[in-house]
Homo-oligomer: A and B are copies of this chain.
Amino acid sequence: MPDRDALYFEDFHVGRRFVTRGVTLSEAEIIDFAFKYDPQPFHIDKVAAARSQYGGLIASGFHTLSAAFRMAIQQNIFTAASMGSPGLDEVRWLKPVYPDDTLHMELEVVHAEPSKSRPDRGRIRVAYTVKNQKDEAVLTFTAMQIVKRRAAEDASDAAE
């Protein structure tokens, strides 16, 4: 049975905004992520990072991206509707993220169109802005996302 509070394609109208809760990236978490996935000195080595152009340890851009996206998933914005994403565009790391920075994410639907070939889904484009505790944008990107239509859920429910 479809969840009446859940969001579907029809709910992601252009201009709709969402704001996630925050997450603090600890120094330990920054080093752990980077040691596994992006072991550059300015992400894992405090001594080398202090001598780098960043003046200290900073989070891997992949870590910032993943942690921020998790906050959107946790918020259940796409829980019911998500059918995955074909890709991201214009990923821009605008400012370094330092240990103990607290990030949240702001989302805005910038495009929405129903699928022409598949009546059960639509495609939306969402503009994401990750901000720190000073309200500075540290990362921006847009994502194409395939989302289920509510009508399709209702039809599948009626057929059961």
List chain A positions with a Cβ less than 8 A from chain B.
36-40, 42, 53-54, 60-62, 65-67, 69-70, 73-74, 78-79, 82-93
Are A73 and B36 CB-contacts (below 8 A) given A62-B66, A65-B62? no
Interchain CA distance A91-B83 in the complex, whole Å: 17
Q: Decide if the interface of chain A is mainly helix, strand, loop or mixed.
A: mixed
Interchain CA distance A65-B40 in the complex, whole Å: 16
Name A38's contact: one of B66, B86, B92 (CB within 8 Å): B66
14 contacts between A and B (CB under 8 A): A36-B70, A37-B66, A37-B67, A37-B69, A38-B69, A38-B70, A40-B78, A53-B83, A62-B65, A84-B93, A86-B93, A88-B91, A89-B90, A91-B91
